[in-house]
Chain A
Amino acid sequence: GQNIDQPTEMTATEGAIVQINCTYQTSGFNGLFWYQQHAGEAPTFLSYNVLDGLEEKGRFSSFLSRSKGYSYLLLKELQMKDSASYLCAVNGDKLIFGTGTRLQVFP
């Protein structure tokens, strides 16, 4: 079957670093998306990994290991506005989203 797993909730402190993991088992693999979604709002694109390795974009980085079916999103220098849900999605034979990780950043 097809499955995407990510933690349901995480908490962290302002200024800290947090890593949100995503493991997947899917039919086919073309790439993996990370989206950020604030409560009641639309998802916004963060990254798309196709090849293995780390991609950095400012305070956010995303890592992919295709052989392990594993990705993580790394958020540095956390700010209060980073409190949101983070969605992992695999672009395989179908586009499948995980249920999201709700991150709460505390002062």
Chain B
Amino acid sequence: DSGVTQTPKHLITATGQRVTLRCSPRSGDLSVYWYQQSLDQGLQFLIQYYNGEERAKGNILERFSAQQFPDLHSELNLSSLELGDSALYFCASSNSGRDNEQFFGPGTRLTVL
């Protein structure tokens, strides 16, 4: 158990819908990272927040957005969902910037029908 929690574990929805994935980092960790992992593309870094502020952006689509709240939990919002958005979404946390070990949560499996 990494100490990072993600909800829900599974999510099934339809194209065009909007969903919110939630992540609680390990106690004391200020950084939260979001990743998407699909079968054909491997692990893709989406975005990083540090202490409530956006720190780095990866291959995140404009239909996706994220935020980190004062209690340090984070949410990833996915809108206008497409079939290709079906993937595992991981959240990870670390105690500072990107030069540290990241602890991954168990992931949310999103299926778009």
| CB proximity to A under 8 Å, residues B74-92 | 90
Chain A residue with the shortest CB-CB distance to B45: A95
A56 CA / B25 CA spacing, docked (Å): 28
Q: A17-25, A41-49, A58-66, A73-81: which one contacts chain B?
A: A41-49
B42-A94 in contact (CB<8A):
no
Q: Is the CB of A43 within 8 A of B56?
A: no
Distance in angstroms from B26 CB to nearest chain A CB is 13
| Residue contact A30 to B102, C-beta cutoff 8 Å | no
Whether B11 is near chain A, meaning CB under 8 Å from some CB there, is: no
Interface magnitude class on chain A: 10 to 19
Q: Which of B43, B45, B102, B105 has the largest count of A CB atoms less than 10 A from its CB?
A: B43
Do the beta carbons of B98 and A45 come within 8 Å of each other?
no
Min CB gap A49→B, angstroms:
11
Chain A residue with minimal CB distance to B57?
A94
Q: Residue of B at shortest CB range from A87?
A: B43
Task: From B44, B56, B101, B106, name the one whose CB has the most chain A CB atoms within 10 angstroms.
Answer: B101
Contact with A along B16-48 (1 / 0, CB 8 A): 000000000000000001000000011111001
Smallest Cβ-Cβ distance to A4: which chain B residue: B42
Contact across chains for B2 and A30 when beta carbons are under 8 A apart: no
**Interfacial residues of chain B within 33-75, with CB under 8 A of chain A in the complex:** 33, 41-45, 48, 56, 58
- Contact assessment for B56 and A95 in the assembled complex, using a CB-CB cutoff below 8 Å: yes
Partner pick for B107 among A42, A44, A48, CB 8 A cutoff = A42
Assuming the contacts A30-B99, A94-B58, asked whether A44 and B44 have C-beta atoms less than 8 A apart, the reply is no
User: Please, how many angstroms separate the alpha-carbon atoms of A98 and B100 in the complex?
Assistant: 18
Cβ–Cβ contact B42 & A100, under 8 A: yes
Min distance, Cβ B50 to any Cβ of chain A, angstroms: 13
Q: A30-B98, A95-B58 are in contact. Are A45 and B103 (CB under 8 A)?
A: yes
